Amino acid sequence: MGRIAVRRLRLTDFRCYETLALDLDDRPVVLTGPNGAGKTNLLEAISFLVPGRGLRRARLVDVARRTAPEIPGPANFSPRPWAVAATVDDGDGTFDIGTGLSPEAGAPGGPGRRTVRIDGAPARGQVALGERLAALWLTPDMQRLFTEGASGRRRFLDRLVFVFDPAHAGRLMGYEKAMRERARMLADAATAGRRPDSCWADALEAAMVEKGVAIAAARGALIRRLNPACAMGAGPFPAAEMAVEGTLDDWLAASPALEAEDRFRAALAASRHESSFVGVGPHRSDLAVIHIARGMPASHCSTGEQKALLISIVLANVRLQSLESGVVPLLLLDEVAAHLDEARRTALFDEIKALGAQAWMTGTDRHLFAPLRDLAQYFSVSDAAIVPL
C-alpha cells in the first residue's frame, strides 16, 4: 500500500452532473470556479466511495440529478439512479471501485438501495469501500464542529478511526440498527400496555453491548496513538490534545473490557422498563479538544483557531496513518484555502506536498493555490463542465 490517488473518476446522474469522465494523475487536484459551479459536488461524489453518507450527510435520493417533470411543480420532480465510479491507485496497483443508487427490483421509481462494486463484482455493504479506500475531509460547515452538538464531533472522530479500522463502520451500523430496533420494540410494548419480550430485548442489548464496547475501544485506542502526533502541531497549525468523554468510555478506561460490558448490559436492562431512551453508550460520547498552547478548550477558541485545530488534527491523522501502515489517504478540502491567512495556507500546501497526499481542493480564486505551482493539476469548473487549465 502507499499513496491513494484517484486516476479516473466517472459520475452518472450525480447532483448537477448528468455524466462526467475525468482522467487524472496522482498529484493534488485544484478545482476553481464560481460558487454553484459544481466543485463541492465532485468532492462529495468521492466521499461516497468510503462508508457513510458523504461529506454533506445527504440521503441517497437527494444526491441524484433531478430531471424536469412533464407536469410542472416541485412535487413532480423525479430523482434518477446515480453512480460514482473511480479507478484508484493505492501504490500496489490499481482497482476499480463504485457505488450508487439502484431502484429496488420490481419498484420503478421507488426509493432504491445503495449498491457497491469492487473490480466489477458486487460487494456486501459499505464496509467493503473502507477496506479499499480511505479519505478524510474538511468543509466550511465543519467550522461549527466545536460549538454545536456532540453528534458532529462523534462523526468527525469516527471518520478518523475509519482510516485505520474499516470494520469500525460496520460496528457503528450494527450498533445503531440494534438500538433502533430496541427502541421500537420498547415503544410498541409500552403502547400495548405489556412488558417487552425479554428474549428479544436480551438479544438486541447483547448486540449493543458487543458493538458498543468495541466502538468505544477503537475510539480510545486511536486517541491514545494520535495525541502524540497532534501534540507536535504542524508549523502555524496549533498543537492539540483530544479525549473521548462519556460514561462507557470512563468505564472502559478504568476497568477491563469485560467489566465495562457487564456494566453496560446492566444499564440497558435497568432502563428497559423506564424508557426506550438509552443514556449510556457510544452514541452519548463526546470528543473534547484542547488548544495546548493556550490551555483552552476548542469551544472557547476563536473561529480561526478552531479551523486551524481541525486542520492540525486531520494532518496529524494522515501522518500517523502514513507512519503506521504506509497508506496516505485522500484529502478532500472544500474551500479551506480561502479561510486561511497566507502563512497557514502556504504551510498547508507544504504539508500536503511533504505527505505526498492527493488532496482535492476547491476555491473560487486560482491565485490562492499559486504556491503549489506545477505540483498540482488544475481544473476550471463552470455549470457542471470541467476543463483542464
CATH of residue 174's domain is 1.20.1050.90
Asked if 215 and 336 sit in the same domain, the reply is no
- The confidence score (pLDDT) of residue 275 equals 62
Q: Quote the cell numbers at residue 356.
A: 505526498
- The confidence score (pLDDT) of residue 107 equals 41
- d(CA 285, CA 153) in angstroms, rounded, equals 9
- 14 is a domain residue: yes
Asked if 156 and 126 sit in the same domain, the reply is no
Domain boundary, last residue among 306, 323, 340: 323
Q: Across the strands, what pairs with 79?
A: 66
Asked if 203 and 341 sit in the same domain, the reply is no
Asked if 156 and 291 sit in the same domain, the reply is yes
What is residue 9's three-state secondary structure? strand
- d(CA 276, CA 138) in angstroms, rounded, equals 35
DSSP annotation of 64 reads: B
The arrangement of strands across the sheet holding 83-89 comes to 17-23, 5-14, 83-89, 94-102, 113-118, 121-122
- 140 is a domain residue: no
- 139 is a domain residue: no
Beta-strand relationship, 135-138 and 330-333: parallel
In this prediction, the residues of the chain whose per-residue pLDDT falls under 50 are: 70-71, 76, 105-110
Domain boundary, last residue among 304, 323, 342: 323
* CA neighbor of 285 nearest in space, from 242, 240, 241, 247: 247
Asked if 361 and 217 sit in the same domain, the reply is no
Asked if 302 and 360 sit in the same domain, the reply is no
CB atoms within 10 A of CB 378: 17
Asked if 104 and 150 sit in the same domain, the reply is no
Asked if 333 and 317 sit in the same domain, the reply is no
Domain residue limits at 218: 145-323
CB 78 within 8 A of CB 67: yes
Element (H, E) at 182: helix 167-192
Domain boundary, last residue among 280, 307, 323: 323
- The confidence score (pLDDT) of residue 260 equals 97
* CA neighbor of 172 nearest in space, from 117, 225, 213: 213
CB atoms within 10 A of CB 53: 17
Asked if 151 and 176 sit in the same domain, the reply is yes
- 313 is a domain residue: yes
148 half-sphere exposure, CB direction, 13 A CA radius: 11
What is residue 386's three-state secondary structure? strand
Angle between helix 167-192 and helix 198-232 axes, rounded to 10 deg: 140
Angle between helix 257-271 and helix 198-232 axes, rounded to 10 deg: 130
Q: What is the DSSP string of 284-298?
A: G-EEEEEETTTTEEG
- 270 is a domain residue: yes
CB atoms within 10 A of CB 363: 20
- d(CA 382, CA 366) in angstroms, rounded, equals 14
- d(CA 204, CA 136) in angstroms, rounded, equals 32
- 241 is a domain residue: yes
Give the total number of structural domains in the chain. Answer: 2
- d(CA 276, CA 95) in angstroms, rounded, equals 44
* CA neighbor of 351 nearest in space, from 386, 375, 379, 387: 375
Asked if 355 and 301 sit in the same domain, the reply is no
- 221 is a domain residue: yes
- d(CA 28, CA 378) in angstroms, rounded, equals 9
Asked if 249 and 333 sit in the same domain, the reply is no
Asked if 73 and 37 sit in the same domain, the reply is yes
